[in-house]
């Protein structure tokens, strides 16, 4: 079963623009992680934010977490064509190390 | 450092045939995961190993799926017999293990097509 729901399901932007993806989840979590999956390739871990954190940055990525609303957002600034991929949020529930993935946002960055 | 290795990358079989997937995790990683990913969906956990012990196999359809991780390193996932609905990408991931929250490192996956 999928825990997270990403919004939007698909996003198309031009290079240089910012891309924002949202993730909502249902149960209490230890942490929330974002992964990227290029077409035909495996998933790559991007960033992890713990339940006691509200914002985290990594390069052009900015993640926020609002545990009261059970939601997170991923912002990619100054997007590049190479950012074209599917982005998944994944939550690790309290008490165990199982990751539950959302349904993903498909991002297309056009040159 | 070599990443997670999976083979084969692609497999096409007829329904009712057996199939096996192999995974070699990153050296030193104690935790190994098998996921199933259907088209347009996120991965779903099938089984998780801590060393050679399967600690979470609640989502593994045990009537036709089996897995093993001999000596706590490589792992094999088997389907016998395969059904049309098993067509999907099977992903293997590994993490260092222990009590800290771990990043999972994924292999490229095996794309299975059942005809």
Residue A1 has pLDDT above 60, yes or no: no
| A7-17 pLDDT, tens digit each | 899 999 999 99
Residue A38 at interface with chain B, using a CB cutoff of 8 Å: no
Burial of B41 (0-12, 13-18, 19+ CB in 10 A): middle
Residue A45 at interface with chain B, using a CB cutoff of 8 Å: yes
Contact by Cβ (8 Å): A97, A1: no
Residue % of chain A over a pLDDT of 90: 77
Residues of A in contact with B98 (CB under 8 A): none
B44 and A2 within 8 Å at the Cβ level: the answer is: yes
Does residue B60 have a cis bond before it (omega within 30 degrees)?
no
A44 vs B4: CA distance, rounded Å: 12
- Min Cα separation B54/chain A (Å): 13
Q: Residue B37's pLDDT is what?
A: 94
Q: Residue A98's pLDDT is what?
A: 79
Average pLDDT over residues A26-50: 89
Q: Residue A97's pLDDT is what?
A: 63
| B28-64 pLDDT, tens digit each | 999 999 999 999 899 999 999 999 999 888 889 999 9
Residue A2 has pLDDT above 60, yes or no: no
Given pLDDT bands bounded at 50, 70 and 90, which one contains residue A6?
confident
A101 and B91 within 8 Å at the Cβ level: the answer is: no
| A58-70 pLDDT, tens digit each | 999 999 999 999 9
Residue B9 has pLDDT above 70, yes or no: yes
B41 and A90 within 8 Å at the Cβ level: the answer is: no
């Amino acid at each position: 079963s999928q825990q997270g729901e990403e919004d939007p399901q698909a996003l198309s932007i031009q290079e240089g623009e910012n891309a924002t993806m949202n993730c909502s989840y249902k149960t209490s979590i230890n942490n929330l992680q974002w992964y990227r999956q290029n077409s035909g390739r495996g998933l790559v871990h991007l960033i992890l934010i713990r339940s006691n954190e509200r914002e985290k940055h990594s390069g052009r990525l900015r993640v926020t977490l609002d545990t009261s609303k059970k939601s997170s957002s991923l912002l990619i600034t100054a997007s590049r064509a190479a950012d074209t991929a599917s982005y998944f949020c994944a939550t690790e529930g309290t008490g165990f190390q199982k990751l539950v993935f959302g349904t993903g946002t498909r991002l297309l960055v056009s040159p | 450092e070599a990443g997670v290795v999976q083979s084969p990358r692609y497999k096409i079989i007829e329904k009712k045939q057996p199939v096996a997937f192999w995974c070699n995790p990153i050296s030193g990683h104690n935790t190994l995961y098998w996921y199933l990913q259907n088209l347009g969906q996120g991965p779903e956990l099938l089984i998780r190993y801590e060393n050679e012990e399967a600690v979470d196999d609640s989502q593994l359809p045990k009537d036709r799926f089996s897995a093993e991780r001999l000596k706590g390193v490589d792992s094999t996932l088997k389907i016998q017999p395969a059904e049309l609905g098993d067509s999907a990408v099977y992903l293997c991931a590994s993490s260092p293990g222990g009590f800290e929250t771990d990043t999972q490192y994924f292999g490229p996956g095996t794309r299975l097509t059942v005809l």
